[in-house]
Chain A
């Protein structure tokens, strides 16, 4: 209130400026909103293209196309092995018995073992799924789980 009454134009050309402020403000708002919409649009568009679908072993075994990547979640079955640089393991449904074989090269997280839940980005190649390098994530077990879970499981 105080500042407005004291904002008297001190230079002659300020009176011209006093005519435009609302229009200028509206223009600025439009430009800002427009940029925001553009950015949001770009985001949405690229996220749809760059995303990998989340699947489970049963769904993957049923239908998988070789030209998309999938984010596979499931449990590691016992009996995984290392063949040279590769880690070969079977991923099983969380509940159920369908499983798919994965060959993976890259970082193996510390908590990785049989029975743990993992997420790995894979691509189909023939009967086997090739894991994307360094995309293997093992979920931290039983930190915030319900009470009474045995840490050994």
Chain B
């Protein structure tokens, strides 16, 4: 099947190049059949890439080691679930996933707009196909997943143990969906700029895609944080790592775009902002894809220098140059139609919101690329750490949460000052009450930033509750519905507004979790022997005994910890460390397990109020004498005899364990981060859900009737 895969990829490249030519020719000559052909090229591309994807995935699932990629990233002993994800754990497979998703969304948007946006669509098609052509060319010429393994190995290397986590199935596809979905509004913005058709039609047509992109990218980032917290042995969810930052930046500019696009649709303002934001988001998405695999920045994700760095940089340079030229030459067409009537208007708040989000993005960009900047300027590579990032992002985040509470209360165009003041009374009172209550919690008043964030979140919550209450009341006045029906119809008819409010609550909850867990964490690094107890964060942690377990893939050494609070047993945690064997033939049959990969299994007790996180690092060095002794006496042991010897080592560890190093963390409100994320997702879904067209038609008819009556009267 290798050849079929190769044919599909080469065909895909040809189709993409043809599509670009056909769309551009059709657009410039006015011959619609060429434009239609170009659009169908996108459909054909999606079909061909789907076939290539299926061929590769099938090879992984049946462990076809004639595929070099399968042999180097999977094995027959890998569980089926991880065999499926192994495909995108590789450079080649992940690129194929990226371009396949791009082809899917492109087909979807072009099908949905096939009768509209006739001037813009051909150029958007060309841009989307340009992206696709670049990625397919990378895959065809530099990183082909369809290389033959000669000679064909009997067994594969297996999946990198650190990647054996359910998140592997969801995190990369979500991130890539986010990146590729942002390419859609990007392409239509470019088309709008080229054709100088800058009315908000292109925004309305691609809004769903921008919202879906924001949704998936946000979830992808959050999943990465959750994965890091529950799986990696350092006990954190965010490290300001360059790769993490690279996925956050387009999400920030995307959020800004979603907000200020509303203003362009209503008032015809902020056109330059919108166009710049969506173009920046697209470029940052490609930048994010590039950073993970380039090796230009030191990161735990980044991998050695790869051959893809230069082509990506070239592509990004072309994108940036093209975008800047387009915007500068179209500034005349981007003149605003309305103007800011008052500083006290929702438009102004949205503009401020833009500034804060772009500011955040700029801070993160600067910190992430500082090593390259400093190297270019001073010749010496220097980097900034998390404390620097925190110093700037924390105040900006507080400002963001505050704005999300102020925005809903101010009206469009020009709010009445008296009304605005009155509308803030209740939320302000609620915030003050929350502040007073929080000050009585020990230690909170000593952390002003955390307290500020908590108050901002309380403010947002109060504002949203007030808004929903008033909205329900208004609905009941207008239509006489009962309370629950009023709420449902309110949500249904104003999806964007109320979906947005739900998102704001989710963001506030999320930041409360971040503030609490980073400010009030208790961490203890300590060496314990069985029988010892240590106290941390109000809990007593008692090391019951050492554990060991054998499986075909690994040896696991761990500990059983009893968690007590106020003298009562609360839970039993079992952190452990799994040792996977190395395939180096120079290592002994048991020693190879302890010189290969090792992954931590975290002992986690998650709760709504706090998480107790434990990790253990057994002292393998102290067992070294036994391990080396066995290997010296039985250097050629394999199979069952090796298993017996490993079992002996495991038993020895259980019976007479050397003191092990533990990391114990009690972190308050970590769960609120994931909870907040779920609320954001719910809000996003509410906003994304298609409005029932029947309801829309009904409203239009009613309005038309009223307008018609007025027309005849005038």
B-binding residues in A (CB < 8 A): 1, 3-4, 7, 21, 25, 28, 32, 36, 39-40, 43-44, 46-48, 50-54, 71, 73, 81-82, 84-85, 105-111, 113-114, 119, 121, 134-135, 137-153
A11 to chain B, nearest CB (A): 11
A-B CB contacts (within 8 Å), total count: 153
Select which of B89, B162, B267, B292 is within 8 A of A111 by beta carbon: B162
Instruction: Provide the residues of chain A in CB contact with B339, threshold 8 Å.
Output: 21, 25
B232→A3 contact, CB < 8 A? no
Chain B residues within 8 Å of chain A by Cβ, number: 68
**Does B638 belong to the interface (CB within 8 Å)?**
no
B584→A109 contact, CB < 8 A? no
Select which of B158, B163, B385, B582 is within 8 A of A121 by beta carbon: B385
Residue of A nearest to B363 (CB): A43
B301→A140 contact, CB < 8 A? yes
Residue of A nearest to B298 (CB): A119
Residue of A nearest to B343 (CB): A28
B56 to chain A, nearest CB (A): 15
Residue of A nearest to B269 (CB): A3
Complex Cα distance A52/B383, Å?
5
A139→B232 contact, CB < 8 A? no
Complex Cα distance A52/B370, Å?
11
Instruction: Provide the residues of chain A in CB contact with B72, threshold 8 Å.
Output: 147-149, 151
**Does B444 belong to the interface (CB within 8 Å)?**
no
Interface set, chain B 285-315, CB cutoff 8 A to A: 292-293, 298-304, 306-307
B367→A82 contact, CB < 8 A? no
Residue of B nearest to A32 (CB): B355
Contacts A39-B362, A71-B382 aside, 16 further interface pairs with beta carbons under 8 A come to A46-B391, A51-B383, A51-B388, A52-B382, A53-B380, A53-B381, A54-B381, A71-B298, A107-B233, A107-B235, A108-B617, A109-B232, A110-B232, A139-B298, A139-B299, A148-B72
Which 5 A-B pairs give the minimum distances between C-beta atoms? A51-B382, A54-B381, A152-B582, A144-B303, A152-B584
Residue of B nearest to A149 (CB): B72
B293→A50 contact, CB < 8 A? no
**Does B330 belong to the interface (CB within 8 Å)?**
no
Complex Cα distance A40/B373, Å?
14
Residue of B nearest to A43 (CB): B366
Residue of B nearest to A137 (CB): B300
B304→A145 contact, CB < 8 A? yes
Q: Tell which of B235, B304, B359, B582 has the most Cβ of chain A within 10 Å.
A: B304
B387→A134 contact, CB < 8 A? no
**Does B68 belong to the interface (CB within 8 Å)?**
yes
B385 to chain A, nearest CB (A): 7
Instruction: Provide the residues of chain A in CB contact with B302, threshold 8 Å.
Output: 139
Select which of A50, A85, A105, A147 is within 8 A of B387 by beta carbon: A50
Instruction: Provide the residues of chain A in CB contact with B293, threshold 8 Å.
Output: 144
Stretch at the interface among B1-9, B22-30, B593-601: B593-601
Instruction: Provide the residues of chain A in CB contact with B663, threshold 8 Å.
Output: 107
Instruction: Provide the residues of chain A in CB contact with B298, threshold 8 Å.
Output: 54, 71, 73, 119, 137, 139
A110 to chain B, nearest CB (A): 5
Instruction: Provide the residues of chain B in CB contact with A119, threshold 8 Å.
Output: 298
B367→A110 contact, CB < 8 A? no
Residue of B nearest to A142 (CB): B303
Residue of B nearest to A42 (CB): B392
Q: Tell which of A21, A36, A119, A152 has the most Cβ of chain B within 10 Å.
A: A152
Per-residue interface assignment for chain B, residues 199 to 221, with 1 indicating a CB less than 8 Å from any chain A CB and 0 otherwise: 00000000000000000000000
Complex Cα distance A7/B91, Å?
57
**Does B337 belong to the interface (CB within 8 Å)?**
yes
Instruction: Provide the residues of chain B in CB contact with A48, threshold 8 Å.
Output: 374, 382
B129 to chain A, nearest CB (A): 26
A146-B306 in contact given A43-B363, A51-B384, A110-B232 (Cβ < 8 Å)? yes
A43→B392 contact, CB < 8 A? yes
A25 to chain B, nearest CB (A): 8
A144→B661 contact, CB < 8 A? no
Residue of B nearest to A21 (CB): B339
Instruction: Provide the residues of chain A in CB contact with B306, threshold 8 Å.
Output: 144-146
A151→B355 contact, CB < 8 A? no
**Does B420 belong to the interface (CB within 8 Å)?**
no
A110-B584 in contact given A39-B359, A85-B527, A139-B303 (Cβ < 8 Å)? no
A51→B374 contact, CB < 8 A? yes
**Does B553 belong to the interface (CB within 8 Å)?**
no
Select which of A36, A52, A105, A110 is within 8 A of B162 by beta carbon: A110
B525→A113 contact, CB < 8 A? no
